[in-house]
Structure 1
Amino acid sequence: MGKIRDAERTRKKIVEAAREEFFEKGFNGTRVESIAKRAGVNKQLIYHYFKGKEELINETIADFISGVPAANLILPANPAQIASFRYKVNQEHLMDFLKFTAWEAIENLPPNPNGEDTRKRVLQSYVEDMRAKQEMGLVPKELDPALITLMMSSITIYPLLYGNVTRLITGLEPEDPAFQEKWTSFLNEISKRIFNMEHEED
């Protein structure tokens, strides 16, 4: 049992070091040697547990998402509250991961090196949630649930990742409480207009 526990601790230490490296430097910028150094282990030990960077990034993202409190992945019942909810979760819990996705956008990556299966399950659950709300009459029937979900991702991530653009347009930094309050209010107001079903006939 002692050897098993030691192996689990070592594996965990490697995954934690890998997360810091990947989120800081992106997939292409991360070296196994750097992960080993950060984890305080021999490089060959990493290859004992993982086949390479591709397997390690998948494991890293799966581990990261599994560590996100379940409440942060369950969307509000009222669709008009989803945007401000996702913005708050992104801002308070997911910034390091979101920075990694910015690296993804500019890197030429091999197939599925980025925890795609795990991430797809989460994002598709958002689409299904929106579709269920649509069937309940809470979302306009002419709107595509997948496109609404994509829109929600865009407006709740972009201002956080592209701080310089946010500052140039609004004069405020994304970390500024004044901006956060204004953007949350804006998200709520826009969402009320999108999901206001009062105009529809019974």
Structure 2
Amino acid sequence: MVTSSRDPERTRQRILRAARREFVAKGFAGARVDAIARAASVNKRMLYHYFGDKEALFRAILREGIATNLDLVAAAPADPADLLPFLAARVLQRVDGIRLLQWEALGHGEGKLIAEDERRKAWVEGSERLRDAQRAGHVHPDLDAEYLVLALMALTMFPLAFPQLVRMVTGTRADDPEFQRRQARFLRRLGACLRPQPPGTAVRAGGRRGAGAPPAEARLQTKEKHQ
């Protein structure tokens, strides 16, 4: 039933919630303003009063994600052994955002994206944080910060974007607590490999180092025992 509201902010939030569900389910191209209006219990005229058109509504949804991404970048730990599990845990709370990215990739290809310049800011901030971590001695200085951002995104988002491959490779579901526990352990160890290594330290096949674990590895093993 279509209703009216004298509380503009509540109405706006109701429209946004309905729009997010519609965009996640059908993508920008497949989403219908009529369906969003019905789900939000408003008429189309009221929806257009708040957001102007479908693209403006989608832009508002994306802006929520931009704010969340910037908060995530600000809160991210500098030590890569902590950073990777931190990102993976946050991505678990952002499944809708991954679905929107998948729809966008299918529909836009290499063309200009909605709110692209605004959205780029979070990734630029992420690259700068990694450079800060490199200057502070937390991350190996030879790694390209932009490509490291891409690698971190791939490592943490892939399981939720392609859960069928997770099941085929690991035998567990991406939403299974056992998979998430193993993933966090793996990411913590992988993150430790991104730290600057003492001169002469070599990693053998299988990830084992030469005689005597270096301090970084020893710290990581101690940390895992207490978790």
| TM-score, length-scaled by structure 2 | 0.77
Give the distance between the partners of 1:186 and 1:26, measured in 2 at CA. 33
Deviations, residues 109-162 of structure 1 (Å, cap 9, x unaligned): 77432x434432222211110011111122222111111111000000001210
- Partner in structure 2 of residue 116 of structure 1: 116
Amino acid at match of 1:176: D
**Residue 11 in structure 1 maps to residue 32 in structure 2:** no
Q: What is the deviation of 1:15?
A: 1.5
Amino acid at match of 2:120: K
- Partner in structure 2 of residue 150 of structure 1: 150
Q: What is the deviation of 1:179?
A: 1.1
- Partner in structure 2 of residue 53 of structure 1: 54
Pairs within 5 Å for 1:157-196: 157-196=157-196
Considering only aligned residues, what root-mean-square deviation do their CA atoms show, in Å? 2.5
- Partner in structure 2 of residue 95 of structure 1: 95
Q: CA, structure 1 residues 186+86, in 2 after alignment: closer, same or farther (shift >3 Å)?
A: same
Tell which deviates more after alignment, 133-142 or 71-80. 71-80
Give the distance between the partners of 1:126 and 1:200, measured in 2 at CA. 30
| TM-score, length-scaled by structure 1 | 0.86
Q: What is the identity percentage for the equivalent residue pairs of Structure 1 and Structure 2?
A: 33
Tell which deviates more after alignment, 54-63 or 157-166. 54-63
- Partner in structure 2 of residue 125 of structure 1: 125
Unaligned runs of 5+ in 2: 202-227
Q: CA, structure 1 residues 123+134, in 2 after alignment: closer, same or farther (shift >3 Å)?
A: same
Give the distance between the partners of 2:188 and 2:39, measured in 1 at CA. 42
Give the distance between the partners of 1:47 and 1:69, measured in 2 at CA. 28
Amino acid at match of 1:122: A
- Which structure has more helix as a fraction of its residues? 1
Look at both structures and tell me which one has the larger radius of gyration over its CA atoms.
Answer: 2
Q: What is the deviation of 1:21?
A: 1.1
Give the aligned length: 196
